[in-house]
Structure 1
């Protein structure tokens, strides 16, 4: 859903005030680069900053470094109707070949109304290899007064060549306490909000994950699997196919479930090293069980287990099936927990 014409700066002032100030300065000094990669948790402000930059560049009445939000250009940008701002977003699971052709043709065209063009590519990690390579050619050989903004919540899925040829702007996650209040204000239960703030900064995505009680069910089944894994129970291997695979019906849900696996092991690390654990735990409802478990494990065991959990999502991105990723993780974790102190 588009923000109204005066909302982008307000949203950014709350979410990413430092980045807003930085780009005010960059544009005022005419130092805008030709390609940026905006990366961070979904909902951290990437799209709002991209739209703000568009309004700032095209606004007819800039006041104190801010677009006025009410001129014809700003209104058209807010409505997604400006001919010199090309926005591409995935349809389904990827950015398709016809979108790539459109993108390539637009790269070669001059601006329709002025002397500047702006490209905004949402979920840029979902570009096919051919799409990414087409974009790489533009990044390596920019022509004219053109800027590309690539937005992603999964930088690890971007081609290294794209990353190395763009200016990468990291969007820090929103502060946990504020995000917790935001989710709870959207009528999300506190325990689920604790998990969600490690997954997204977006209320709409959080509500999608809560639909049909999916997230609480996923957390419960994941905990059962985890509890069996740390005990070396062979049933944990069976639980992958019986309980977890059926929960993750598509790629986004599979990614979220693996993010939750990583968050669970990170909870263990936080409790072991006493790193602000009480306020930051994703699985706060299991704090007593996790605390008891940390007493039976040493730091090297915890670090090894967490590293395995963190690599699981990268394996999924390498076209290893979700079931194989989780079964492989289960088998690798058993030996670590067989030597409890």
Structure 2
């Protein structure tokens, strides 16, 4: 991706953040550590790359890197010796990878007086790996800046968050995502659900492989209908339907995101916050609307908080099945009195 393409992409995705970092660099106010947090596809890698090219480019014009000089090309192809990039090796970023980072932190720049570190999927650092970064973040030395990129801020250690400047990447505008997904051949209903899960077309297409997402939505809806009636079969459905649906960790996280989105739909309908086109489960709008009329705001807020907590429990190494079974049992008393 050329610098022009990166800038164009950022101008469409995150124009305010692009403008902000142009100003920060012009004023020489770049901090030593940032946490870029947002959905996949929201622009975190693109902004980190643009900053790197802007700082190293040999021919900056009107605050933009030219994208064609030797420095820009090496950055784009991940071959610049003073820009250290680390990504998960498998499911996590291991201690040995962080040891490599720490050794690089202690070294001077090879060709100039500045070094950059870009850590992708930083939420996948093991606890020991993340803790080993704290010394650098607390006591930076030299002209060094680190960018930690994450799609799940909730999984980051609080000590890391407190010692970095957190930059939140807002979701892309719904109409832009809807058009992008539909232009790629994704149905309107699937696109409506997907844009609540990701900003990335690549990830959206992966979730549709073998009709995984439509199947997940159908299975979740069946479980939900039973759970809100306090039906014991919803507890059984966890093992017979949902656990087999999401065997991989990434799929489990998506299922929990879908559950949270389902309860957020209930809140939106109850408070009439958004139009039906904004719902994740728009195909079930009439059933959800009926349900909201029988529930108080406090009940809906409590249920939504439980759904959001489930994802944090999975991150705490509670098994996917136990998380869902616990959520099901907690939902029964909330809904049963109104069944």
- Residue aligning to 1:143: 141
Structure 1 segment 59-98 matched on structure 2, within 5 A: 59-98=57-96
Which of 18, 28, 31 is the equivalent residue of 1:30?
A: 28
Deviation at 1:98, TM superposition (A): 2.7
Distance in 1 between the 2:2 and 2:297 partners? 50
Contact 1:6–1:70 at 8 Å: present in 2 too? no
User: For 2:169 and 2:289, how far apart are their aligned partners in 1?
Assistant: 31
Query: 8 Å contact 1:267–1:277 — kept in the other structure?
Result: no
Q: Which residue of 2 aligns with 1:159?
A: 157
Q: CA deviation at 1:10?
A: 0.6
The SS at the match of 2:112 is coil
Shift of the alpha carbon at 1:5?
3.7
1:215 aligns with 2:213: yes
Alignment of 1:36-75 (within 5 A): 36-75=34-73
DSSP 3-state at the match of 1:245: helix
In structure 1, how many angstroms separate the alpha carbons of the residues matched to 2:297 and 2:38?
29
Q: Match for residue 124 of structure 1?
A: 122
Aligned to 1:249: 247
Deviation per CA, 1:177-234: give whole Å up to 9, x if none.
Answer: 1111111111111111111111110001111111111111011000000011111111
Conserved? CA contact 1:198–1:282, under 8 Å: yes
Which deviates more, 131-140 or 27-36?
Answer: 131-140
Q: Which residue of 1 aligns with 2:14?
A: 16
Distance 1:298 1:61 in 2: 61
CA-based RMSD? 0.9
Alignment partner of 2:269 out of 268, 271, 289: 271
1:13-36 Cα offsets, whole Å, 9 max, x none, are 000000000000000000000000
Q: State how far apart, in whole Å, the 1-side matches of 2:89 and 2:218 are.
A: 32
Take 1:204 and 1:92, find their aligned partners in 2: how far apart are those partners? 19
Answer with 90-99 or 209-218: which moved more.
Answer: 90-99
- Deviation string 1:280-334 (CA, Å, 9 cap, x unpaired) is 1000111111111111112111111111111110111111100000000000100
Q: Displacement, 1:99?
A: 1.4
* 1:111 to 2:130 alignment: no
Structure 1: distance between partners of 2:177 and 2:200: 9
Q: Give the unaligned 5+ runs of structure 2.
A: none
Partner residue of 1:332? 330
**Are 1:260 and 2:258 matched, yes or no?**
yes
Q: CA deviation at 1:101?
A: 2.1
What is aligned with 2:319?
A: 321
CA distance in 2, matches of 1:29, 1:53: 14
The answer for the alignment partner of 1:300 in structure 2 is 298
- Structure 1, gaps ≥5 residues long: none
